[in-house]
Amino acid sequence: MLEKIKKHWKITSLAGILIIGTSILVTVFTGGKEVEAAPLQTAKARTGEIRVTVSGSGFSTPSNRVELAFAAGGTVSEIYVIEGQDVVEGELLAELDNRPQVVQLALKQLALQALISPEALNAAEIARLTAQDDWEDALASLQYLISRTVYNSEVELATATSALETAKTDGSNQSAIDEAQLLVDEADKKLASAMGYYKYEYIPAVLGYEPTAEEISLARAQVRTAELAVEDANLYIERLSSEDACADMTTVGSFTSKLNQACLDIELAQLTLDGTNLEAPFTGRVMAIEMVAGQSVNTTPVLAVAGDSMLVHFYLEEADLPGVVAGLKTNITFDAYPDQIFEGELVQVDPELALVDGTPAVSVWSTLGLAKNDPALLGGMTAEVEVVIGEVEQAILVPVQALRELAPGSYAVFVQAADGTLKMTPVTIGLRDIATVQILSGVQAGDIISTGLVETK
């Protein structure tokens, strides 16, 4: 105990007076009368481990569990698994009597074969020639109506305009763009000249009357319709000649639409047939079977599969929420295996509080790391979970009583100097538990720190 210091101190709002010593007395004068205050205590900043955790209780649950149902109703013909059996992704679990679906698929396949047979290919060739003739007739009618000169000039202008747009969008240099623009201008002049010839020479000498806008529009539409028919016939023949006529169903026309419909009918029939099977959606375990062979079922769930990985769903008190975020390490113990600690990682904090026995609680989820030699864990097993918010092994630590909050988030401590005086020193803090706080800056290990009037060990 250092000698009692008798000085006149002014009490400040910090409720701490700059005093020297490991256990020193403060003497003040009140109303002209000397009063001896309680001794201030000190502690030494030390290096050690700090570990901040919160704990909660919960239960294990499969990471994913699905209820499986048949896509359509029917009679159960076979069940290939039993409850508790391990299965792999894609494994056949059960099936319905699928004879009607097999027949329907065969009928749709026959319909497609009729469309891609050699006879169908010959008919398509005839249709293409007919479409070609129709196009040539429609084009001749249009050229007669507006003159071959005007038609050719329109085609030249359309070609030049398309080339200009391509040059502008494909990154061509300015010289190429200017050249394309020049061709457009020339084609535009040719069309203007052709229109003059059409009005003053072609109409009087050849047509003998001036066609209406509606007549010309109809003639253009007939040409375009005939062009589309030729394109459709060509695509149809191309698909009939390919290995898979259903590989590309993006084209739509009078010929290809029939082929598309036949392909879609087969696809639908195949889906219907597949719907009579139940397959494992992932590798896991059969948890429940709610059917027997020979039973009529509908589209309600009849079999449950759970994944082979586990989660722990647990609850924390509201006061423990600060600092609890996804990614933190968890240590898990089960009532069935009290001496074994399973490690995990916090993966989710639910956005709403849950009611547990009528009390609001934070709902939290953690992974459960399992090794091959770990004991068997079942869904619903009671678990105790410790969430490690932070831990540092070589930290500079002082008692929490040494902290003085200057402003929200801003702290200082009183450090004893060599001459015994105390100096207020701003500090940056890190982890903090109920008794100890980590100092990141401002204090070194071995510094003597005032803890106020609280005695520390």
Least confident of 386-395, 431-440, 445-454: 445-454
Share above pLDDT 70 across residues of the chain, in percent, rounded to a whole number:
89
> Minimal CA–CA distance to 305: which of 292, 318, 288, 327?
288
Question: CA end-to-end span of the chain, whole Å?
Answer: 15
d(CA 319, CA 354): 14
Alpha helices in 356-404 (DSSP H): none
Phi, psi of 419 (to 5 degrees): -85, 5
Tokens of 74: 């029917």
Give the mean pLDDT of 388-417: 90
- What pLDDT, on the 0 to 100 scale, is given for residue 39? 65
What is the pLDDT of the chain when averaged over all its residues? 85
Give the mean pLDDT of 400-421: 89
> Minimal CA–CA distance to 389: which of 334, 322, 439?
322
**Burial tier of 322 (Cβ tally within 10 Å: 0-12, 13-18, 19+):** exposed
- From residue 283, alpha-carbon distances to 127, 274, 308, 313 in Å are 53, 20, 7, 22
Phi, psi of 283 (to 5 degrees): -75, 130
Tokens of 268: 């639908």
Q: Is the CATH number of domain 40-48+394-452 3.40.1190.20?
A: no
d(CA 414, CA 388): 30
Give the mean pLDDT of 352-362: 93
Give the mean pLDDT of 42-53: 90
> Does the pLDDT at position 384 exceed 90?
yes
Give the predicted TM-score (pTM) of the model.
Answer: 0.50
Q: Is the CATH number of domain 65-98+276-306 2.40.50.100?
A: yes
- pLDDT tens-place string over residues 246-284: 887 776 777 788 888 999 999 999 999 999 999 999 888
> Does the pLDDT at position 2 exceed 70?
no
Most confident of 103-107, 171-175, 374-378: 103-107
The sign of the torsion formed by the CA atoms of 76, 78, 83, 86 equals: negative
Give, for 190, the enclosing helix (H) or strand (E): helix 174-197
Give the mean pLDDT of 420-448: 89
